[in-house]
């Protein structure tokens, strides 16, 4: 269960809440306090919200709300923030309605390449620039990325184009340096359960893009998000990027059902990466559009000014024109869905709503 504590509660009053819950949990190990989107909360995942305990807690002046949250990830659970979390990055909002498209190359390769990519991403309608500088490559002989100088090039290109930037960080020790330069920190699929890294990005003061492990269950993924939230970072964006399937026809198996499912389980925004999910450039746009139709809050897409020259993941990298078409279609799909919802609410004239249904 989670206890939302009143903002004006004194230190003694907060301690009283902790004491009561610790006694119930049989020790203090599983009772933690953190700042969240819902305010300052005390979290006791193992506490059964028995009627007597709920009564005792509700009677305390410090307690604003008792959230029964039965899920093992109480801070990520939908119950804590029923209206959903909006994560803002500069002027961009994830989870506020309009789909947000992030685009850029798999890897930052040079100043010239990332600057051209940034301009192309912006002109196509993308709102953030991506680019990997610390690359988690399966082979130690493959291009490993430019490291911190690559993050600097990315930040400079983003600033010149007016786009915030997102990049992957793999080591807890490098989190502060990358957080200095990047607007959003990406935790990659292979590191979804790198717990020291999750804790480090939880303390970094930057929004986190948490990719799903390629063999992770939804519960494991939400527990990974919980690590970040428990450190006091409320700005977590989940990213479905495909899970390992049995068929090599596509690189991974895109689990689009997880998008509407996550809506019921968590308040965190959800985006989709159709590039790593499919591994094929011809499938990126159709699956990107499908993700928006399934309710995703945005996409992260690999785009290169010259896809055939990309140093990594060229098979799944689209060109700027394809990106521009994809962005337009994403907005068209979102608008069609919004229009239909408005029709259900009776906000549009009947003849228009009827037309939309045909």
Q: Measure the N-to-C terminal CA separation of the chain; round to a whole number of Å.
A: 46
Residue nearest to ligand PEP (CB): 188
Question: Whole-number minimum distance, CB 309 to ligand PEP, in Å?
Answer: 17
When asked if residue 251 is in the footprint of ligand PEP (CB under 6 A), the reply is: no
Binding mask 198-227 for ligand PEP (x = CB under 6 A): -------------x----------------
Do residues 151 and 203 make contact, with C-beta atoms less than 8 angstroms apart? no
Nearest to 127 by CA among 94, 86, 155, 169: 94
Q: Which residue lies nearer to ligand PEP by CB, 90 or 136?
A: 136
CA dihedral of 49, 52, 54, 60, whole degrees rounded to 10: -150
Question: Whole-number minimum distance, CB 147 to Mn ion, in Å?
Answer: 16
Tokens of 283: 């499938």
Rounded to whole angstroms, how far apart are CA atoms 292 and 329?
9
Rounded to whole angstroms, how far apart are CA atoms 318 and 104?
9
66 contact partners, CB below 8 Å, separation of at least 6: 1, 2, 3, 4, 49, 54, 57, 58
Do residues 200 and 191 make contact, with C-beta atoms less than 8 angstroms apart? no
* Interface region with ligand PEP, contact rule CB under 6 A, candidates 57-65, 93-101, 110-118, 187-195: 187-195
When asked if residue 343 is in the footprint of ligand PEP (CB under 6 A), the reply is: no
CA dihedral of 324, 325, 330, 335, whole degrees rounded to 10: 100
Residue nearest to Mn ion (CB): 106
Q: Among 74, 95, 105, 132, which residue sits at the site for ligand PEP (rule: CB under 6 A)?
A: 132
Q: Among 127, 276, 281, 304, which residue sits at the site for ligand PEP (rule: CB under 6 A)?
A: 276
Q: Which residue lies nearer to ligand PEP by CB, 74 or 242?
A: 242
When asked if residue 313 is in the footprint of Mn ion (CB under 5 A), the reply is: yes
Do residues 45 and 75 make contact, with C-beta atoms less than 8 angstroms apart? no
When asked if residue 241 is in the footprint of ligand PEP (CB under 6 A), the reply is: yes
Binding mask 137-176 for ligand PEP (x = CB under 6 A): -------------------------------x--------
Question: Whole-number minimum distance, CB 142 to ligand PEP, in Å?
Answer: 12
Ranges within 105-144 binding Mn ion (CB under 5 A): 106
- Residue 102 CA: distances (Å) to CA of 164, 202, 203: 10, 22, 24
When asked if residue 307 is in the footprint of ligand PEP (CB under 6 A), the reply is: no
Q: Among 145, 188, 279, 305, which residue sits at the site for ligand PEP (rule: CB under 6 A)?
A: 188
When asked if residue 189 is in the footprint of ligand PEP (CB under 6 A), the reply is: yes
Q: Among 17, 41, 100, 106, which residue sits at the site for ligand PEP (rule: CB under 6 A)?
A: 106
When asked if residue 182 is in the footprint of ligand PEP (CB under 6 A), the reply is: no
Contact residues for Mn ion (CB under 5 A)?
106, 313
Contact residues for ligand PEP (CB under 6 A)?
106, 132, 136, 168, 188-190, 211, 241, 273, 276
């Amino acid at each position: 269960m989670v206890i939302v504590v009143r903002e004006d509660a004194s230190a003694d009053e907060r301690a009283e809440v902790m004491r009561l819950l610790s006694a119930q949990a049989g020790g203090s190990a599983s009772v933690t306090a953190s700042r969240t989107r819902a305010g300052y909360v005390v979290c006791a995942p193992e506490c059964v919200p028995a009627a007597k305990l709920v009564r005792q807690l509700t009677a305390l002046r410090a307690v604003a709300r008792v959230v029964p949250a039965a899920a093992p990830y109480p801070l990520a659970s939908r119950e804590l923030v029923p209206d959903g979390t909006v994560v803002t990055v500069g002027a961009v909002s994830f989870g506020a309605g309009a789909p947000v498209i992030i685009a850029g190359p798999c890897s930052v390769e040079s100043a010239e390449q990332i600057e051209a990519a940034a301009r192309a991403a912006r002109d196509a309608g993308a709102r953030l620039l991506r680019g990997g500088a610390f690359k988690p490559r399966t082979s130690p002989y493959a291009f490993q990325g430019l490291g911190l100088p690559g993050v600097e090039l990315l930040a400079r290109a983003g600033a010149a184009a007016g786009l915030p930037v997102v990049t992957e960080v793999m080591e807890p020790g490098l989190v502060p340096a990358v957080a200095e330069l990047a607007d959003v920190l990406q935790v990659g699929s292979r590191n979804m359960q790198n717990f020291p890294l999750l804790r480090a990005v939880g303390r970094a003061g930057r929004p986190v893009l948490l990719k799903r492990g390629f063999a992770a269950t939804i519960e494991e993924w939400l527990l990974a998000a919980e690590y970040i939230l428990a450190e006091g970072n409320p700005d977590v964006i989940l990213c479905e990027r495909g899970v390992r399937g049995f068929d090599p026809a596509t690189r991974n198996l895109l689990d689009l059902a997880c998008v509407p499912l996550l809506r019921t389980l968590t308040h965190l925004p959800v985006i989709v990466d159709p590039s790593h999910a499919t591994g094929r450039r011809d499938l990126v746009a159709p699956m990107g559009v499908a993700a928006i139709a399934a309710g995703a809050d945005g996409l992260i897409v690999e785009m290169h000014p010259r896809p055939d020259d990309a140093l990594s993941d060229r098979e799944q990298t689209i060109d700027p024109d394809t990106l521009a078409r994809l962005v337009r279609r994403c907005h068209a799909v979102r608008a069609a869905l919004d229009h239909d919802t408005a029709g259900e609410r009776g906000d549009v004239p009947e003849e228009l709503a009827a037309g939309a249904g045909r």
